[in-house]
Amino acid sequence: MTLKAECKPSNVLPECLAATRLESIYLPIKSELSQVEEEIAGACSAMGPAGSGSHLLRAGGKRIRPALVLLSSLYGNDPVPTVIKLAVSVEILHLATLVHDDLIDYADSRRGAPTVNKIWGGNAAILAGDCLYALFLEHAAGFGKPILSSIAVSLRDMVKAEMLQLQFLYDCDLSERDYVARTYLKAGSFLSCCSRVGAELAGVPEKVRRALARYGCFMGIAFQIKDDILDFLGDETSLGKPLTQDLRQGVLTLPVIHALKSSPARHQIRTLIEKRELSAAAIQFIIRELEHCGSLSYAAGILKHYARLAGRALATLPDNQARNSLEALLDFVVTREL
């Protein structure tokens, strides 16, 4: 685990609570996850520009994607040594997408630390992301076509989500259906893939693999909706990035989409967004309207809907340590503060 904070009795930070929860959730794969961490550290230490790879790891992370690979593999009859390499592969791929996402979003910070593009510049961030993609290919090359194809489709989906996001910036006619479709591409597809490929490597029956894939899909959508709610209600220190970042950049998420249809002030909100230069006062006005018209509560309800769907998928699986951890991880996603 790399989600670290100095946890003292007088300083029980959300980061500390999250780290403690995740350590408990990951107990069945504690040893394997430690190996994953060591392998990623070794791979990233050789990256350039000097220190960029290690910088990514020091910033921490929840390691949800490798955990899904490892937990899903536990449904097999025997341990699979190569599952460590597969878990390393998906996390390296995730890190690559973060580097390029931060560059696209002009983000200065992630997880409370400066981004690669903030420290080394845009060109270095492009190269660092490319290097991580190359490392991913190096680690994943030995796996069979079904696993590689699944990961490739997920990567394509994530890129498509970013392209759609750019295409519909400041688009006040974006529908909830459009948003959910984009959210699936952005988060649901990859978490579904991670939940399935570990099981596939372990020779788990197709019925179980399908249930794990559904779980990952719905949990991924719930995860992204939670992110979008926290962008308005979260604590900047805990999140490690500024609030309302999406709205400032014209990325309309579920709370705003709902308010544009339901708020008595929807015409004012539309006018402010379509000006494409949101002042601090405009942002505060929109946040107040999201609260007054119930848009944040509505988004929380949709989040719980997808969490229930993920839970139903889990309920069809054999009851074991892996399922207990997956259930606890789902609860963490829904209730987390960062």
The count of other CB atoms within 10 Å of the CB of residue 142 is: 12
The pLDDT tens digits for 188-217 are 999 999 999 999 999 999 999 999 999 999
Tell me the β-bridge partners of 210.
none
| Mean pLDDT, residues 227-239 | 85
The pLDDT tens digits for 237-284 are 677 778 899 999 999 999 999 999 999 999 999 999 999 989 999 999
| Mean pLDDT, residues 2-28 | 71
| Mean pLDDT, residues 13-32 | 88
- Determine the Cα–Cα distance for residues 317 and 135; give it in Å rounded to an integer: 34
- Determine the Cα–Cα distance for residues 86 and 185; give it in Å rounded to an integer: 21
**Summary mean pLDDT of the chain:** 91
- Determine the Cα–Cα distance for residues 27 and 1; give it in Å rounded to an integer: 11
Residue 73: the pLDDT is 97
| Mean pLDDT, residues 141-156 | 96
Residues 272 and 289: beta-carbon distance below 8 Å = no
Q: Using alpha carbons, select from 140, 50, 51 the residue that is nearest to residue 94.
A: 140
Percent of the chain beyond pLDDT 70? Answer: 91
Ramachandran angles phi, psi of 110, nearest 5°:
-150, 130
The C-alpha angle with vertex 78 and arms to 77 and 79, in degrees rounded to 5, equals 135
Amino acid at 201: L
HSE-up (13 A, CA, CB side) for residue 248: 13
- Determine the Cα–Cα distance for residues 244 and 232; give it in Å rounded to an integer: 6
The count of other CB atoms within 10 Å of the CB of residue 299 is: 26
Task: For residue 28, give the DSSP letter.
Answer: G
**What radius of gyration, in Å, describes the C-alpha atoms of the chain?**
20
- Output the pTM of the full model: 0.92
| Mean pLDDT, residues 141-167 | 96
E strands, the chain, where?
A: 109-110, 113-114
Q: Rounded to whole angstroms, what are the CA distances from 268 to 232, 260, 261? A: 19, 9, 12
- Determine the Cα–Cα distance for residues 8 and 11; give it in Å rounded to an integer: 5
Residues 6 or more apart whose Cβ sits within 8 Å of residue 332: 18, 21, 22, 25
Q: Look up residue 91 and give its two tokens.
A: 């996390």
Residues 6 or more apart whose Cβ sits within 8 Å of residue 42: none
Residue 10: the pLDDT is 43
Percent of the chain beyond pLDDT 90? Answer: 73
Q: Rounded to whole angstroms, what are the CA distances from 245 to 110, 205, 236, 305? A: 12, 42, 11, 25
| Domains by residue range for the chain, with CATH | 14-335 (1.10.600.10)
The pLDDT tens digits for 287-305 are 999 999 999 999 999 999 9
Report the sign of the C-alpha dihedral through residues 178, 182, 188, 192, in that order: positive
Position 235 pLDDT exceeds 60: yes
Q: Which residue has the tokens 């000006």?
A: 275
Residue 57: the pLDDT is 66
Amino acid at 161: A
Residues 213 and 196: beta-carbon distance below 8 Å = yes
